[in-house]
Structure 1
Amino acid sequence: MKKWKFASFTSVNMSGQRVRRNFVILMLCTAVIFAIAGGFAVLQAKVTTHTTDGNPLTSHVSNQTLVSLLGGNIPYLNESVQTPSKDSLVSRLVLELMMSIDIKDPRTFLGHELPSFALFDTEIYLASEDVTFDSIPIDTPPDAKIEDQIAKAIEKAVQSGELSDDPKRLVGAGPGIKKVFIYHSHFSESFLPEIGSTNPNSASHMSKNITMVGKKLQEDLAKMNIGSIASNKPYPYTTAYAMSKQTVVAAMKQEKELEYFIDIHRDSQRRDHTTKDFNGKPYARFAFVVGKASKNYAENLKLAEYLHKEINRLYPGLSRGVFQKPKTSGTNGEYNQSLSPNSMLVEVGGVDNNFEETYRAIDVLAKVLGERIVDATPAKGTVPSTKEKK
């Protein structure tokens, strides 16, 4: 009968000075590695990516790895792009497919483990000079008290029959023909100065909220003779986009002239990132979010880029940038933008701004958007231009 030999265990005395020194060095080296990885993550966030999503499986594979795989059949790719060896290619492919880790992007090592690194899914497509990884838009849910109030408000509206997606129940402004639909998936987002709070986690309110900013946009568009409809419907945070989508679809069916669909939000970033002064007056800054999972991704991105550039042409830096979000376990990645090529999600200000500052900003957005709509609308008796709008 074969005898098995087992290796004996060796005990380590942690009281020794040398062991304690080595343990401290190990801990310091670990801390340095995390600090360096975090620094690279901030720098890496400034790199612009313009690729669109394909198959969900390949969405976790980096561009270089894909090029390397294709290089076997297209030699030119290997010549034009520096690709890894076959051995390292296999290991990289396994890491990227199985663990969503890109060894050239340190953010992917930490993004799923550290809460603050969950933002690594957001990509900076276009941004003002002062925008870095730590100033990208942040989305935070309302506190439990507000969520409970929202649930009760929805229940009451259902019982009374007022919770209808019929656009006739919504608020219209301007001429008979409605071109713009305004809504708020996260309707309770509010501003600390307006509700008398200093806790950024409690910047929510049932009436003093982002819907008032949408109303201001309506008023500005009406002055330009542009009709719009606004929805102030409450939605539960967890199912907000699914429910607001129903509202948008219903509006599209009954108002055939609607062309632009604007979901207005309030960012959760603090004042130093969301405010800029012009002529001695503070303005709330914009941030445009584009979902990469939208089937109209390219058109939505083009619209956001146009608005960002035009706003900053008039007020340099007022628009923080255009940010892309793919569909992941932590982000929606679509934001109802598949419904129209003229869909947008815009963040107006942050938790520390007030209505006066957001209204100043909205005046600028209304001017830029209104001029685009007017320029694209042919006058009666004229032939529409075939020249493409930039």
Structure 2
Amino acid sequence: MKRKIMLLDFGRESKRMRHLLVTGRTFALLSFCSMVFFVMLGIAGMAHQQTTASPVNSMKGFAAAVSSGFFGDMLEMEMPAFQSSRETESFTTKQISSLLMRALTDINPNDPMSLLAGELPGLSANDAFLIRKGIGTDTAVGPEDNAPITYDPIGGLDEGDGTEVSNDGSNPDKDPDQTPVPSDKPAETDDSGNDPGDKGEEEKPTTGGSKVVFVYHSHNRESWYPELTDKSKDPNSSTKNITLVGKRLAEKLEENGVGAQHSDTDYPTAIKNYRWELSYKYSMKTIKEAIASSKDLKFFFDLHRDSQKRKYTTIDINGKSYAQVYFIIGHKNPNWEKNEAFATKIHEALDQKYPGISRGIWGKTAASGNAEYNQSLAEDNVLIEVGGVDNTLAESYRTADALAEVISDIYWEEEKASASKGKAS
């Protein structure tokens, strides 16, 4: 009898132990699931923060990274009547994995240097992110903004007085794939190559004495190898540089009736103890002074010369070579979307009239550049890289003419829309 009672007690204890084990497993499972939930919630928050901060992780960055054929297939799935004429390109597992990795960690699996870029300033200086494609844009080739080796505040980097220009077609880069550098000298009357047609006696619109466009240069000494006497150094010049292209743009805008103001301030001589890395601080003062002196200013353009080689910065249109352009948007500016919308207007207009001249709109975060570029001072403010180190002044002039044409059209369209809206109200 006693043995039966002991066995009965043992059975009760075993049952209790099994119940405790089941309860423990349930608790452990619930704890693990809760931990996973909060970890995933944290990752989602990080991904959201990255998405709102960087164009490469936004839907625009995603859209720019995949082919039009991919979106055509998506539309065909939802709209049976729609037939895409674009060739289908597969969206590989590697692309998906790379996109997720960049979204969560800001590390590019295809670029090992990105592992160090976040910790060592300067390594990611050229890591621009494509926001919007240009026609035929190679998404693997973005703009480069390289600092000069040295800066001599007296004479720049070119030797001599800077007035002698080499147009012998020589090219310091020995890449056999590069197209030859043209030998034509830029003339003040050189047009963009397009026949404007007979406009009759119709009077052109004009802003009168009002200046509505401001053109300036944060890196005012950026020049081109073919235009310098000494091609062994960085292409920078105190006399023959990107300010000439800015002047050309302003003059062409004026010819189109759009009042334009141009700043050719030479910061290395104007600023005591000049430091190249503070360039945008110096140009910010220039912009603020311009705004204070003219309340009519609406459009702002910071013109640069990019550091990419000729094969990435040149296109032939109607038998004439043009310097291609990159549009740069700083994502440290909280209202960068508005600046990007302005750049998009110009980019799309260029694509219509000069297909291929725009290499797209690119964004930069604080990890890959200044990230602000004074664009918070005005919504219609954009940085434009015109050509590269191997382009010529003649090619850059043609591009300035093209920019002036589309910018003028955009300005007058906006003025017309504003006037119509005023009448309606």
Could you say which TM-score interval applies, normalised by the shorter chain? 0.5 to 0.7
Structure 2 residue aligned with 1:203: 235
Structure 2 residue aligned with 1:177: 210
Structure 1 residue aligned with 2:129: 123
- One-letter identity of the residue aligned with 1:189: E
Q: Once the 2 structures are TM-superposed, how far is the Cα of residue 192 of structure 1 from its aligned partner?
A: 1.1
Alignment partner of 1:140 out of 126, 146, 161: 146
RMSD value over aligned CA atoms? 3.6
- One-letter identity of the residue aligned with 1:265: H
Alignment partner of 2:396 out of 358, 376, 386: 358
Alignment partner of 2:220 out of 175, 180, 187: 187
Deviations 1:261-310 (A, max 9, x none): 10000000010000000111100001000001113201101111121111
Structure 1 residue aligned with 2:178: none
- One-letter identity of the residue aligned with 1:128: G
Query: Distance between the aligned counterparts of 1:148 and 1:338, measured in 2?
Result: 32
Deviations 1:324-361 (A, max 9, x none): 00112x51000000000000000011111111101111
- One-letter identity of the residue aligned with 2:148: P
- One-letter identity of the residue aligned with 2:325: F
Deviations 1:117-140 (A, max 9, x none): 625631111123543355211111
- One-letter identity of the residue aligned with 2:382: M
SS of 1:242 mapped into structure 2 = helix
> Would the aligned equivalents of 2:217 and 2:264 in 1 still touch at CA under 8 Å?
yes
SS of 1:202 mapped into structure 2 = coil
Query: Distance between the aligned counterparts of 1:101 and 1:137, measured in 2?
Result: 19
Structure 2 residue aligned with 1:87: none
Query: Distance between the aligned counterparts of 1:234 and 1:120, measured in 2?
Result: 24
SS of 1:360 mapped into structure 2 = helix
> Would the aligned equivalents of 1:213 and 1:358 in 2 still touch at CA under 8 Å?
yes
> Would the aligned equivalents of 1:174 and 1:222 in 2 still touch at CA under 8 Å?
no
Larger RCO (alpha carbons 8 Å, 6+ apart): 2
> Would the aligned equivalents of 2:135 and 2:355 in 1 still touch at CA under 8 Å?
no
Matched ranges for 1:306-321 at <5 A: 306-321=345-360
Deviations 1:139-194 (A, max 9, x none): 1122325356469xxxxxxxxxxxxxxxxxxxxx9841000011000000001111
Structure 2 residue aligned with 1:13: none
Q: 1:50 to 1:213 in 2, by over 3 A?
A: farther
Structure 2 residue aligned with 1:52: 52
Query: Distance between the aligned counterparts of 1:378 and 1:324, measured in 2?
Result: 30
Q: 1:102 to 1:186 in 2, by over 3 A?
A: closer
Q: 1:375 to 1:202 in 2, by over 3 A?
A: same
Structure 1 residue aligned with 2:302: 263
Deviations 1:337-388 (A, max 9, x none): 000000000001111111110111111111111011112224998763789x
The range that moved more, 358-367 or 121-130, is 121-130
Q: 1:284 to 1:381 in 2, by over 3 A?
A: closer
Larger radius of gyration: 2
Query: Distance between the aligned counterparts of 1:204 and 1:302, measured in 2?
Result: 32
SS of 1:146 mapped into structure 2 = coil
Structure 2 residue aligned with 1:83: none
> Would the aligned equivalents of 2:126 and 2:144 in 1 still touch at CA under 8 Å?
no
Over the matched positions of the two proteins, sequence identity in percent amounts to 36
> Would the aligned equivalents of 1:108 and 1:120 in 2 still touch at CA under 8 Å?
no
Structure 1 residue aligned with 2:376: 338
> Would the aligned equivalents of 2:125 and 2:369 in 1 still touch at CA under 8 Å?
no
Deviations 1:1-43 (A, max 9, x none): xxxxxxxxxxxxxxxxxxxxxxxxxxxxxxxxxxxxxxxxxxx
Structure 2 residue aligned with 1:108: 114
Can you give the 5+ residue segments of structure 2 that lack an aligned partner in the other structure? Answer: 1-48, 59-100, 158-205, 268-273
Structure 1 residue aligned with 2:95: none
Structure 2 residue aligned with 1:8: none
Q: 1:113 to 1:130 in 2, by over 3 A?
A: farther
In the alignment, does 2:260 pair up with 1:222?
no
Instruction: Tell me the TM-score normalised to structure 1 length.
Output: 0.63
Alignment partner of 1:294 out of 333, 340, 352: 333
SS of 1:219 mapped into structure 2 = helix
Count of matched residue positions in the alignment of Structure 1 and Structure 2: 279
Query: Distance between the aligned counterparts of 1:295 and 1:150, measured in 2?
Result: 35
